[in-house]
Amino acid sequence: MIHFLSDLHLSPGAPGVTRIFLNYLGNEARSAERIFILGDLFEAWPGDDSIDDPDDRFYGDIVAGLRQLADSGTGVAVQHGNRDFLLGEHFAERSGSMLLPDPCVLSLPSWQFVLSHGDALCTDDAEYQTFRTQVRNKDWQDFFLRKPLAERKAIAAAMREQSEASKRDKPMQTMDLNPAATDDFLRQYGYATLIHGHTHRPARHDHVVDGIHVERWVLSDWREDRGEYLAWDSQQLTRHELL
């Protein structure tokens, strides 16, 4: 069994979803061969040094939970989202996880998948794509990672506020995957089943690309009282609720 999940948006201010996730790590996740976390595991990741922040054990506790799962034999793979693009090699080592590129092709004996956070396909959102290019730039990241952790946390909070304000004026369609860009993507990746998150619009979509039916699965975001993962059992994908 392979699990796919995303958009948990874990933060010290969200104890409910944190409880659900830590319970998942200690229970359902143990029966998976591998779990793939496809972005926005965290509400805002200010840098890997937050793992050992003496003033806030939250990030370290989540990383320790992931490490315990990895040490128990379940593979853990993590993709960057637009909130946790600063997850780095130190996080990967401490959590026992592997950082994935975006997109990432997952070729199994039973099926072919392509995994993505999904934000890169929201091409109608020019403002966001400009932001994304900026924050994924290594020099930009190195510049900000040299700032003190407390300052980075304050900047992240300001960025969150600006984002919420920006979204209020945006048509919903702008904040979804662009249909033509998505079909081009599916063609580029050999009509593999696409699994992604980001939009918080869980669904199974059937695309017809060059006469070929291609499935696109959107993962559910997690709430304070509910989580969800998608499971592949070598024959079908099924959604599983966590309370």
Interface residue list for ligand LP5 (CB under 6 A):
44-46, 82-83, 86, 119, 122, 125, 127-128, 131, 144, 152, 155-156, 159-160, 162-164, 166-167, 170, 175
Please choose which of Mn ion, ligand LP5, none residue 238 contacts, taking the beta carbon within 5 to 8 angstroms, the exact cut-off set by kind: none
The secondary structure of residue 221, as a DSSP letter, is P
| Complex with Mn ion: residue 74 or 196, whichever CB lies closer | 196
Choose from Mn ion, ligand LP5, none: what does 81 bind? Cβ within 5-8 Å by kind: Mn ion
The pair of three-digit structure tokens given for residue 231, joined into one six-digit string: 């499971």
- Closest distance of CB 155 from ligand LP5, Å: 4
Q: How far is the CB of 140 from Mn ion (least distance, A)?
A: 19
List beta partners, residue 194.
114, 216
Q: How far is it, in rounded angstroms, from Cα 137 to Cα 64?
A: 28
Q: Which of residues 39 and 96 has its CB atom nearest to Mn ion in the complex?
A: 39
Q: How far is the CB of 83 from Mn ion (least distance, A)?
A: 6
Q: What Rg value do the Cα atoms of the chain yield, rounded?
A: 18
For 58-76, give one letter per residue: b (16+ CB within 10 A) or e: bbeebbbbbbbbbeeebeb
Nearest alpha carbon to residue 87 among 136, 132, 127, 130: 136
Nearest residue relative to Mn ion (C-beta):
198
Of 125 and 228, CB closest to ligand LP5? 125
Nearest-approach distance from CB 40 to Mn ion, in angstroms: 4
CB of 90 to Mn ion, least distance (A): 22
Letter string b/e over residues 93-110, b meaning 16 or more CB atoms within 10 A of that residue's CB? ebbbbebbebbbebeeee
Q: How far apart are the first and last CA of the chain?
A: 20
Our separate counts of H helices and E strands in the chain read 7, 11
| Residue 196 found at the interface with Mn ion (CB under 5 A) | no
Instruction: Report what 160 binds from Mn ion, ligand LP5, none; CB cut-off 5-8 Å by kind.
Output: ligand LP5
Name the minimum Å distance from CB 162 to ligand LP5. Answer: 4
- Measured over the CA atoms of residue 11, residue 12, residue 17 and residue 18, the dihedral's sign is positive
Q: Could you say which residues in the range 32-91 bind Mn ion, by CB under 5 A?
A: 40, 81-82
C-alpha pair distances (Å), 198 with each of 41, 46, 109, 111: 11, 19, 28, 23
Decide whether 187 or 201 has the Cβ nearer to ligand LP5.
Answer: 201
Residues that bind Mn ion (CB under 5 A): 40, 81-82, 198
